[in-house]
Structure 1
Amino acid sequence: MVEEEKIVCLGLTFDTEEQRREYFRNKLRIRLPELKKIEGFPIGDDEDIIRLSDPPYYTACPNPWVNDFIAEWEKEKKTIKSRIADFKVDEPYASDVSEGKSNPIYTAHTYHTKVPHPAIMRYLLYYTQPGDSVLDSFSGTGMTGVAAQICENPDSETKYKIEHEWKQLFGRLPVWGQRKAICGDLSPYASLISYNYNMPADLELVDAESQALLNDVIKECTWLYETKHTDGGVGTINYTVWSDIFNCKSCSQEIVFWDAAMNMEKKELLDDFICPNCKSINNKTSAEKTWVTFFDTELGKTIRIAKSEPVLIVYTYKGKRFQKQPDLKDKKLIKEINELKISTWVPTYELPKGFNLDQPKKSHGVNNTHLFYTKRNLVALSYLNNRIDSSKLPNKLKFILTGMINRSTQMNRLHVSNFFYGGGGWNVGHLKGTLYIPSLQIETSILEQIQDKINSLKKAALLLGKQYSNLQFVGSASNTSIKDNSIDYVFTDPPFGANIMYSELNFLPETWLKVLTNNIKEAIENKTQGKSLLDYQSLMTECFKEYNRVLKPGKWMTVEFSNTSAAVWNGIQTALQRAGFIIANVAALDKKQGGMRGIVTATAVRQDLAISCYKPTAEFEQKFQNAQGSTLVWDFVEAHLCHLPVHLVRKDSTTSIIERSSKILFDRVITFYLMRALPVPIDARDFQEGLKQRFAERDEMFFTSAQVAEYDEKKARSPQFVQWSLIVTNESDAIEWLKERLRRATQKYQDIMPEFRMATQSLRKGDTLPELQDLLNESFIQDEQGRWRTPDPSEAKDRDALRNKVLLKEFNGYVSTISQPKAKKLKEVRVEAMRCGFKNCWERKDFKTIVTLGDMIPQNILLEDEQLLMYYDIAKDRV
């Protein structure tokens, strides 16, 4: 008889996984009082949190064992033969990535945002070695963890594709091998999905338990979804369309929206519909919803909700699908179900205030979570949940339940075009990113969904990792309790501004788990939570500071960004730089097509972005503390140039790398000094001259002597060059536009003016642009023939001095204006004057003026200008 293999976890030996689980659950129970003091601890009873956890690998709260595992992983590194002792990554991964979303792992469970794991694998294979630790504290469904595990044993298609890319890009194969991921999230719902994606499963037991679950649900719940076929036989309902009912604005008679607005002849949903009683024209704005009052058996009190009725049933009979209008027997069954007192537990949580959570309250009177469902689906879900809790794999099978939560609600929509014309299914699910309940709702049968969810779980389980190699936790990204300088790489996809209200959208599934998100530290912009865009930026700064604290010096972080707002983009940049990171590359990520390409300007973000940034080495930080004057500027520039891509190719053409332009390099220098509360020891003109003296220039980009040879060689293979296009959105851009034009040839005012007018049509609201004549007078030289040219170095210094004098005078005018009694906010300002004035205030340590004036200018100007926002944000902490 073969003796079963013992289970070893953190140096302890157990006979079974259940024994290990119970041992650490007891330890977790003891430690909960101290863990509750940590930011992001979820809302729920202790036993519900413990029941949801599978410690020490997964805790539905901050994980107290994370540092123990990191210490073990560091020891294990010594035994991994494929590791290189002096492994170092100098420049960011800036190549094209093409990945779809159709793989079985990605589709096994829905969530608001997800990055396909094969895309993340490329970053892990580039930035890390086997055995390295990877952190993602905004992990959502845990795709970073999935990627880390599958780096050890990828499917043949993914492996071939990535190896082919690596040979082309780097002339070598990637180093395959498992990475160790720590996946955290503020949401218990997200973390449970992540747990199921990242923890190994006994496939035979999953198969047996899920099949038993399916059999029991079919046995106990089939009667709920029975309907009569035309021959008297019994069919099974797949889904039922329900319609809101309105009161006619003229006669107050009830109008069934489906009957009045769904024009079957014209095949369209009408905006204006006719009352069948008085023939007056109504629409959803003019006609009021019909409301009904009834005694809710779950709440034990009378409530008022929007009235609706079933209008169409889709069902299966003898293997074929049919449609019918509900008959008397169907309506009798619904009435019988509605009068039931459900014998098993259902979540009846009251909906708190919220941007999304207020939608269903106002539109349909849905004030409690159970009211999102028809009584029929609620009965079935309650039975399913209760049956899962009594199974041998409750947390694994919860993956099935949570995957059905939203599709089981009244938020399910009917796709009108597909209903009339085909071309796809018309039961399309809820409107993502909302809790919107439409006027035509689709009640999708639990029986219709459960088999599909079980199949998805089984397919994904076959491809997922087979070892306990990753960690999961619930908690805030701003406080991970991880030791300093202990993580090898960070990949993260955080929230962005007001894009998605995660805690509100996750409220519904989390009530089924009985553990809710603690949203005090949720990094979003949300009026209900009292969080402005600046509050969001401040919260993100805390999170990025935590990433910087735990990341090893010299290591990298990749941040995915998804927001069209320039203000949010600048907020993220400011947060990253305030946290101590240095941005090395920004690329646009088109998830739909999977393509990554370099971007031109960060003030007009229209695609997802991948931001590559690094934490300076300890040696450089030490050097900076000891050095003085402008010498260190060039040390910084040289070190930073070594962290930038040398050559980028897109569509067989060499592409500009904007991070290598003098303007962006100087911005990085300014930020580096500001973050350390020091004056910048060099001005823009001297910086540009110094760049040209110390570094090689190619195509308006700067390189070290070692890099320029590589650039020249690679450009020779792709000689076609694509320059970045300059979109003029402010005065600084306008001056660059003029410089580019006048470098090519001197020109008279009248020759410049027509095209200048066309180029300056996209200016930001609230930013005043001086007249062309003033810009020319301040920054350029006019010859005897009246032609304008760029100044030579000696002339440029005089021009800069003159311009700074003009800008400071204008800035002081703003200060004087807002100092008057009962001063009002300024409606517009000259941003270049603001930049010059803020710089001057900073050097004089006059932080109060920066903050006071910053509060009095248009908010979009402050938030959308990286330099102004940086000065303001730091000055706030010093007032």
Structure 2
Amino acid sequence: MPPRTSLESDFPAAMLSEVGTKESWRKEVHRPATSTHKWWAKRLGTVFRGIITSAATPEGADAVGAYGSSLDLAGAVVLDPFSGSGVTGVEALKLGAKAVCFDINPVATLVQRQAVQPWDLGALEAAYKEVESACRAEVDRLHRTEDGRTVLYYFWVATVDCPECSEAVRLFGSPVFSKNAYPKRVPKAQIVCPDCLSVWESRYDFVAETCPKGHRVTQHGAARGQWATCGNGHSFKILGALDGARPGYEMYAKMVANPDGSKSYEAITEWDRGLYDECVEALAGLPQSAVLPRGQLAPGNNTDQALKWNFREWRDFFNARQLVSLSLIATAIRDLTGPAPEREALCALFSGTLEFNNLFTSFKGEGTGAVRHMFSHHILKPERTPLEAHPWGTSQSSGAFSTLYKSRLHRAHEYKTKPADLIDRGAGVERISGVSKPVGASIADSWKSFAAIQGQAAYVATRNSAETDIPDGSVDLVVTDPPYMDNVHYAELADFFHAWLQNMRPYTGYSDAATTRRSGEVQHADPVEFGKAIEAVWTESARVLKPGGLLAFTFHQARISGWVQVVESLRRSGWAVMAVQPVKGEMTTSVVKAGAREPSNLDSVVVCRRVVDGATNPHSSVEEALATATKELTDLLDAHIDVGAGDVRSVVRGALLAHLASTGADLDESVATLVDSLATESIETLLGSGSDRDRDGDGDGDGDSGSDGDCDS
């Protein structure tokens, strides 16, 4: 068997977790090349740089130094069969290697292409100006007050009719519709009267007030949980009251940009309603050639909630003004005739803007980015009080095409031209330039054309990674992050973007299928089907890897069945697990994690070699495997890395199942029970009551360093 590497034996997990923690708070700042568009479960570039450099560093050598050095992997080919946002590809290119980025979803491919290809900034700016000239004046006109001021945001509320008395019920959970992100420091808040929609300023913690028209207003609105109560006192289930139709929506307030630079909250007027009615007419009159979303939602784990609210078509996710405004922008981009990479970048930028401009967004409040994007919970969750933003936007806007142009495309261009890495050289984590090569790859769409490229190259394609055109033994290293077995089904969510992109044709060969769902997707709620699908990818990876090469992937899974299937699939496809290395994987306080019973903070880097190359799992017993996992977790805890119960459980499961699989054991229910019992004991041993360790390392022992991490502007 080839000599061991640092990735297998002395992986610098504590250092990578420290720099990864800093990256996790602002991924879009520290790794902007892979942040031009939404993709789910994006991993940390610092960690993946560490995986690649450690795989190239012999056991016992300075892996930390290799991470922070100008390591040159010229001639090497790195494959990512589940490429997602392109993190592996970018890190490989920065280190001088060639990158192969495959994903079965075309939206992911679009994101990867933006991450690795160069743009001409002058051509990009010219294309942007051409789009602005074609559509901005009309989009601005549709977002203005009667006296000509710009409306930054319109506030809406969903309405349903009471099933008993037919009274229209506005589904306010609270009349406080705007408050500061830190209300105890800044108690000022905006209140709406649920009866007459008067708007006034008060405090976030008011008890009861009388609105300007004499209605008594308290802290509670008509909606609470799944239930609502009408003005006549009838309580009913909201979903039951929909009766096969979507809820109605009513504007009740707007935030206006004033000439002096201030912003003000104002009630909706008849003029505002008339302007919206004009948008309804304009939508009906759009030419057939205009870009609009097409397609219907299909049932699925992440679409069922929207379907229950009777959102059937993707265009249902937008009101009339949004559809008209977004169509104007999208059509102008589609019709660009300039250079292809820059047009493609604007297509991706527009698609990313959709995330902040639809009926599933909400208001985050003052003192933070105003728009809470639609995927903050990784599901298509209808909003009872949606926020309508100005989609082109101004310098005061959040989540708009113009502001994202600067914060995403300009930032990504600067990063690709002069990459900066987070490195700890003893005086804390710093951003350092000069240790990575610029990113500006020629993109190939086949192995033949990829192999012929001289210089920096990336083979980027939408394909099932179980079936590739890569010759046997052509890849030096496989590094990836496979999809979750369940929970976040990427294609179900990506169809929201694809509904627009299929009409825009961002690049030659972009899919014109009605959906991004495809046969061969690895994600599956059935663990057995998940195992079969991922086994096919592992088998293909083993075929294309050079003798002695490594496969490394990050993984965490709340259900033990997911771990069982991953380990079994590796065994069946001829891989031996050489190490399971815990390392920082997630932001500590994300919205999604906050609702989990055992939220994860760490990933497990599963390092594998081919059995045909003589590889075997290094542990001789369950006790030895458990001791290794315990030491790795203890090292992270001693370095003040946040480690939770879910992290311990996942890492121990992976290590023990990998060893047991190597012995030929049947990973049945009894084995799973044993493994979980040992994992629970490890949690108690390592974490105890949780009160004796300051797990977030900030010195206060509360385990919370306090950000929602949603920093797009």
How high is the TM-score relative to the length of structure 1? 0.54
Q: Secondary structure at the match of 1:511?
A: helix
Deviation at 1:125, TM superposition (A): 1.8
Q: 1:281 to 1:466 in 2, by over 3 A?
A: same
- Structure 1: distance between partners of 2:326 and 2:101: 29
Q: Deviations over 1:514-553 (max 9, x none)?
A: 1342421111124xxxxx1211111111111122221222
Q: C-alpha separation between the residues in 1 aligned to 2:516 and 2:286? A: 27
Q: What is the aligned counterpart of 1:459 among 407, 411, 417?
A: 411
1:535-583 alpha-carbon deviations (Å, 9 max, x no partner): 1111111111122221222221221113211221222122222222211
Mapping of residues 577-596 of structure 1, within 5 Å: 577-592=571-586
Residue among 44, 65, 85 paired with 1:116: 44
Name the counterpart of 2:269.
327
Residue 327 of structure 2, aligned match among 374, 379, 382: 382
- 1:569–1:605: 8 Å Cα contact kept in structure 2? no
Show the 5 A alignment for 1:317-396. Answer: 317-318=258-259, 319-340=261-282, 341-343=285-287, 344-363=290-309, 365-391=310-336, 392=338, 393-396=342-345
**Residue identity in the other structure for 2:532:** S
The residue type paired with residue 91 of structure 1 is E
State the partner residue of 1:437.
382
Distance 1:306 1:379 in 2: 21
Superposed CA offset, 1:689-741 (max 9, x none): xxxxxxxxxxxxxxxxxxxxxxxxxxxxxxxxxxxxxxx99568989999x9x
1:671 correspondence with 2:661: yes
Separation (CA, whole Å) in 2 of partners of 1:670 and 1:562: 18
- Aligned with 2:383: secondary structure? coil
Question: Which string of whole-angstrom CA distances, capped at 9 and with x for unpartnered residues, describes residues 223-278 of structure 1?
Answer: 111113xxxx3111212111111223442211222398659444855465799985
- For 2:8, the equivalent position in structure 1 comes to 91
Q: Alignment RMSD, CA only?
A: 4.2
Find the aligned partners of 1:350 and 1:398 in 2 and give their Cα distance: 22
- The residue aligned with 2:348 is 399
Amino acid at match of 1:544: W
* Inter-partner Cα distance in structure 1 for 2:656 and 2:562: 22
Among all aligned residue pairs of Structure 1 and Structure 2, give the percentage whose two residues are the same amino acid: 19
Distance 1:404 1:664 in 2: 38
**Higher helix proportion (structure 1 or 2):** 1
Secondary structure at the counterpart of residue 141 of structure 1: coil
What one-letter code is carried by the residue in structure 2 that aligns with 1:589? V
Matches of 1:562 and 1:645, distance apart in 2: 14
Within the alignment, does 1:186 sit opposite 2:99 as a pair? no
| Letter in structure 2 aligned against 1:451 | S
**Partner SS for 2:131:** helix
Following TM superposition, by how much is the alpha carbon of 1:337 offset from its aligned partner in structure 2, in angstroms? 0.9
Report the CA distance between 1:378 and its aligned residue.
0.9
1:138 aligns with 2:56: no
Kindly state the Cα deviation for residue 91 of structure 1 after the two structures are TM-superposed.
2.9
| Residues 474, 544 of structure 2: 8 Å contact kept | yes
- Per the alignment, do residues 478 and 277 of structure 1 end up closer, same or farther by CA in structure 2, a change over 3 Å counting? closer
* Distance in 1 of aligned mates of 2:492 and 2:537: 20
Given the alignment of the two structures, is residue 253 of structure 1 paired with residue 167 of structure 2, yes or no? Answer: yes
Matches within 5 A, 1:11-50: none
User: Residues 289 and 243 from structure 1, CA distance in 2 versus in 1: closer, same or farther, beyond 3 angstroms?
Assistant: farther
* 2:53 counterpart (125, 134, 144): 125
Superposed counterparts of 1:391-540, under 5 Å: 391=336, 392=338, 393-415=342-364, 418=365, 422=366, 424-430=368-374, 431-448=376-393, 449-455=400-406, 456-464=408-416, 465-468=439-442, 469-514=457-502, 515=511, 516-526=515-525, 532-540=526-534
Is 1:239 aligned to residue 233 of structure 2? Answer: no
Using the alignment, how far apart are the partners of 1:353 and 1:200 within structure 2?
A: 38
Change (3 A) 1:150 1:248: same
Q: Which residue of 2 aligns with 1:845?
A: none
Is the contact made by 2:160 and 2:169 (CA closer than 8 Å) also made in structure 1?
yes
Write the distance in 2 (CA, Å) between the matches of 1:115 and 1:633: 26
1:280 partner amino acid: G
Q: After TM superposition, give the deviation of residue 204 of structure 1 in Å.
A: 1.5
Code of the residue aligned with 1:534 in structure 2: it is V
Q: CA deviation at 1:399?
A: 1.8
5+ long unaligned stretches in structure 1: 1-84, 152-177, 292-303, 527-531, 596-603, 622-631, 680-727, 741-754, 760-879
1:126-156 Cα offsets, whole Å, 9 max, x none, are 22433311111111111111112223xxxxx
Shift of residue 487 of structure 1?
A: 1.0
**Letter paired with 2:149:** G
Distance 1:289 1:353, change over 3 A: closer
CA shift at 1:88, angstroms?
A: 6.3
Amino acid at match of 2:143: Y
Q: CA 1:539–1:442 in structure 2 vs 1: closer, same or farther (change >3 Å)?
A: same
CA deviations 1:467-512 (Å, max 9, x no partner) are 4221210011211221222211111111112121111101111121
Q: What does the per-residue CA deviation read over 1:826-856, in whole Å, with 9 as the maximum and x for residues that have no partner?
A: xxxxxxxxxxxxxxxxxxxxxxxxxxxxxxx
Within a 5 Å distance, the mapping from 1:604-643 to structure 2 comes to 606-616=600-610, 618=612, 620=614
Match of 2:251 in 1: 310
Q: Report SS of the residue matched to 1:226.
A: coil
Corresponding residue of 2:545: 551
Q: 1:330 to 1:89 in 2, by over 3 A?
A: same
Tell me the SS of whatever aligns to 2:126: helix
Residues 250-289 of structure 1 mapped to structure 2, 5 A cutoff: 250-258=164-172, 264=191, 265-266=206-207, 268=219, 270=221, 278-282=231-235, 284-285=237-238, 288-289=241-242
Q: CA deviation at 1:290?
A: 8.1
C-alpha distance in 1 between matches for 2:246 and 2:656: 60
Number of matched residues?
530
Q: CA deviation at 1:444?
A: 1.7
Secondary structure of the residue aligned to 2:149 is strand
The residue type paired with residue 481 of structure 1 is D
Aligned partners of 2:171 and 2:228 also within 8 Å? no
The one-letter code matched in structure 1 to 2:118 is P
Q: 1:110 deviation in Å?
A: 2.4
User: CA separation in 1, counterparts of 2:617 and 2:608?
Assistant: 18
Residues 312-370 of structure 1, C-alpha deviations (whole Å, 9 max, x = no match): 1112121321211110011011111112222213122122232333322321x321111
CA contact (8 A) 1:553 1:615 kept: no
- Written as runs of structure 1 = structure 2, the 5 A alignment for 1:756-771 is none
Q: Give 1:634 shift.
A: 10
| Change beyond 3 A, Cα 1:558–1:279 | same
3-state SS of paired residue (1:520) = coil
For the 8 Å contact 1:565–1:605, the answer to whether it is kept is no
SS at match of 1:536: helix
In structure 1, the residue matched to 2:130 is 212
Query: Which whole-Å CA distance do the structure 2 matches of 1:445 and 1:732 have between them?
Result: 53
Q: Residue 132 of structure 1 aligns to which amino acid in structure 2?
A: A
CA pair 91-563 structure 1, distance change in 2 beyond 3 A: closer
Letter in 2 for 1:348: R
TM-score, normalised relative to structure 2: 0.66
Gaps of 5+ in 2: 57-72, 178-190, 192-205, 208-217, 394-399, 417-438, 443-456, 503-510, 590-597, 642-647, 689-713
Q: 1:555 to 1:219 in 2, by over 3 A?
A: same
Report the residue type matching 1:143 in the other structure. Answer: V
Matched residues in 1 for 2:673 and 2:335: separation?
64
Report what 1:871 is aligned to.
none
Judge conservation of contact 1:240–1:442 (CA < 8 Å) in 2.
yes
